[in-house]
Structure 1
Amino acid sequence: MVEQDLIIAAQSGDRDALVTLLRDIETHVYRTAYYILGNEQDAMDAAQEALIRIYTKIDTYEEKALFKTWVQRIVTNICIDKFRRRKPTVSIEEHNMVFQSERDVEDEIVSAYVAKDIQEAIEKLPEHHRAVVVLRYLQDFSYNEIAESLNLPLNTVKSYLYRARQQLQSLLHEYQKGGVRG
């Protein structure tokens, strides 16, 4: 079934169609929540809350907005609310990696540092800047889709992205010099 057919069926009370829709979006919802909130547990909570809200509010969805932007608006708003309510914490995640050679080990370590540094830099951004970065670069949303998802004017989205890129550039300046933080 095509997404629009699933939406119509779900709005008409077809539980299977609604479950299919939720399964199709759950990875995107979690990914957005993770990159905005910065830790797995909060992201899982926010994603679950977003999926429940989508489940209970599917009948309020109107075709004038793309379904994915409607969904992202819900998850982003939930994450911003959670972000405002929580106390600052520092999370350190440990990853169990299996390596096949010394070169793989070096590549994996460098990749892990880079990914960790980027995640930490994104976490340091103000919440609205973080949201537009996540939607643009991790969810591949257009500027218009971001504006619609966050209910912001297009020029505000462009401004937030510009400022966020400047902040990320400053936070990740070691990489511009060819170094890796460690």
Structure 2
Amino acid sequence: MVEPELIRSAQAGDRGALITILRSIETHVYRTAYYILGNEQDAMDAAQEALIRIYTKIDTYEEKALFKTWVQRIVTNICIDKFRRFKPTVSIDEHNMVFRTESNVEEELIFADFAKDIQQAIDKLPEQHRAVIVLRYLQDFSYNEIADSLNLPLNTVKSYLFRARQRLQTLLHDYQKGGVRG
């Protein structure tokens, strides 16, 4: 959570405050970009572009919306624009999805395979459905925060989530039969 005083300092031209803000949000920005775009290189590019945009546009932020919502709107829009320009390649790094402390080799292999199928299923969603799934389940945004982030009506967000969950359920049902096919 970025403190409002820090934001106001950055908006007033305090470069140190702005750098502190960027460092505190860079992991969240990257994570969102990674889950929307599906591979590390594209996510790094999008995250960098989002951080630059936040850096140059912080003076336009108004406290009408939560800062995290404003940030997620920026990164999500950049990702959707990139997604429309090209179809990203699927690249999954299972060990970055969830950190586990106890290791059972067979359990880890099953989990890694399932994590790959989850990412592949998410990658099969249309970009708007993918965005709402990422914001809801990976960034833990409320429906209202998602609506604000994506500049969509609340009912549209609910509809996208409903359809995305249905599609994911269908795709992940196939997991029990040997993996996501599609």
Distance 1:105 1:3, change over 3 A: same
| Local SS of the residue matching 1:172 | helix
Matched residue, 1:115: 115
Check 1:94–1:162 CA distance in 2 against 1; reply closer, same or farther (3 A cut).
closer
Matched residue, 1:47: 47
Q: Residue 5 of structure 1: CA displacement?
A: 0.6
Check whether the contact 2:36–2:131 (CA below 8 A) recurs between aligned residues.
yes
**Distance between the aligned counterparts of 2:3 and 2:178, measured in 1?**
43
Compute the displacement of 1:93 (Å): 5.2
CA drift of 1:174 comes to 3.4
Say if 1:110 and 1:180, in contact at 8 Å, map to a contact too: no
Aligned 1:1-182 pairs, distance under 5 A: 3-87=3-87, 89-91=89-91, 104-175=104-175, 181=179
Gaps of 5+ in 1: 96-100
- Would the alpha carbon gap of residues 28 and 88 (structure 1) be closer, same or farther in structure 2, given more than 3 Å must change? closer
Q: CA deviation at 1:105?
A: 1.2
Q: Name the SS of the counterpart of 2:89 in structure 1.
A: coil
Q: Distance in 2 between matches of 1:31 and 1:80?
A: 14
Greater Rg over alpha carbons, structure: 1
Q: Is contact 1:26-1:51 (8 Å) kept?
A: yes
Are residues 118 and 74 of structure 1, via their aligned partners in 2, closer, same or farther at CA, if it must alter by over 3 Å? same
Q: What code does the residue aligned with 1:164 have?
A: A
- Give the number of aligned pairs: 174
Residues 102-160 of structure 1 show CA distances to partners (whole Å, capped at 9, x for unaligned) of x7111110110111000000000000000000000000000000000000000000000
Equivalent residue, structure 2, for 1:98: none
Aligned amino acid, residue 157 of structure 1: V
Contact between 2:34 and 2:43, CA under 8 Å: does it hold in 1?
yes
Q: In 2, Cα distance between the equivalents of 1:30 and 1:92?
A: 14
> Can you give the 5+ residue segments of structure 2 that lack an aligned partner in the other structure?
96-101
The alignment yields a C-alpha RMSD, in angstroms, of 2.1
- Corresponding letter in the other structure for 2:71: V
Report the CA distance shift for 1:2/1:113 in structure 2 as closer, same or farther (over 3 A).
Answer: closer
